[in-house]
Amino acid sequence: MSSILCLFCASLSYRAIQKSNCYHREGHNAPCSHEDTSSMLLFGAVQVVMSQIPDFHNMKWLSMFAAIMSFAYSFIGFGLGLAQVIENGTIKGRINGVPTANIADKLWLVFQALGDIAFAYPYSVIVLEIQDTLKSPPPENKTMKKASIIAVSLTTFFYLCCGCFGYAAFGNNTPGNLLTGFGFYEPYWLVDLANACIVLHLVGGYQIFGQPVFAFAERGFINRFPNSWFVNNYYTNKHRWFPSFQINPLKICFRTAYVASTTAIAMMFPYFNQVLGVLGALNFWPLAIYFPVEMCIVQKKIQSWTRKWVVLKSFSSVCLLVTIVAFIGSIQGLINAKFE
């Protein structure tokens, strides 16, 4: 699911670069429109090649590159929002958010927003895979705990800065995506740079979220067909201009099919906030809440109906409720966007 969103967001950013250049040439009111299909297909083609990276252990360089790109566009978004607030000379928006015609519409927007927030921390999908690549000493769990605290703190800081300054800059007219929704027109080259960083970040992001899927599926095939040449044989490809590398028929076929399927799904629903909310709701409770809570209860042997057990179960139940309403709200928003 995260791979689908990577495709979708990369396409939006690529289109935003085209529109930014068009607005700069033709004026801010020019009818600049570009379709998403070609950019999604291009991004998918890149991922077909990148998906042949063997596993997580070979992705250190790509992960570092993606992280640098993430910092770059986050700083740019934060800076543009702050600059716009200073230029306005006032803080727009209000504490109760966007006004609606009735309470029902407000609730739908709140539910959809919960889904967007739920997707803000999708790393729970890959945390165990990352921990598996760590070496000890120190113990992997201690290293991972420290890394998680730093990562969540930095992520929260940038989310709050970009979100709060974006709303302060544009108020009720704040676009769903500050860098692609054209709250900012100038400096156009900086907007282009930020969106280029997003695209490059998502090249790595797609693989980071896709590799666990590849590993899980390929382990299943190996266990199911231990004697199959298609599954188990590797062939060395040598070329005088490139380093030698190994190819496996299963990896080529399965990973290509995976990229093709995610590309096709992403092309069906080009609605940023609504898709974000749906995927966030689906990911949030099962992977970020239920699984860790149950692991904690089992690992620490917490007895049923003790205070800790009740607190953990209550926390999980509340988060399940949030997930349900976020999913319903995001589906409603997706349907509305589809037929408007």
Residue 273 has pLDDT above 60, yes or no: no
- Which tokens in the block code for residue 227? 């004697």
Residue 322 has pLDDT above 70, yes or no: yes
Residue 311 has a pLDDT of: 92
Residues 124 and 126: their CA atoms lie apart, in Å, by: 5
Residue 283 has pLDDT above 80, yes or no: no
Pick from 56, 197, 176: nearest CA to 128 = 56
Question: Which range has highest mean pLDDT (52-56, 78-82, 89-93, 313-317)?
Answer: 313-317
Contacts 24+ apart (CB under 8 A), 28-33: 28/185
Q: What is the pLDDT of residues 130-187, one digit of tens each?
A: 777 777 777 777 887 888 888 888 888 888 888 888 888 888 887 777 777 666 777 8
Are the beta carbons of 56 and 209 closer than 8 angstroms? no
Q: How many CB atoms are located within 10 Å of the residue 22 CB?
A: 16
User: Between residues 52 and 125, which one has the greater pLDDT?
Assistant: 52
Where does the pLDDT of residue 96 fall: very low under 50, low under 70, confident under 90, or very high at 90 and above? confident
User: Between residues 68 and 328, which one has the greater pLDDT?
Assistant: 68
Residue 117 exposed, middle or buried by CB count within 10 Å (0-12, 13-18, 19+): middle
Indicate the pTM of the whole model. 0.80
Point out the least confidently predicted range of 71-80, 229-238, 270-279, 302-311: 270-279
DSSP string, 159-228: HHHHHHHHHHHHGGG--SSTTTTTS--SSHHHHHHHHHHHHHHHHHHHHHHHHHHHHHHHHHHHHH-TT-
User: Between residues 257 and 325, which one has the greater pLDDT?
Assistant: 257
Number of residues that make up the chain = 340
Residue 121 has a pLDDT of: 65
Where does the pLDDT of residue 1 fall: very low under 50, low under 70, confident under 90, or very high at 90 and above? low
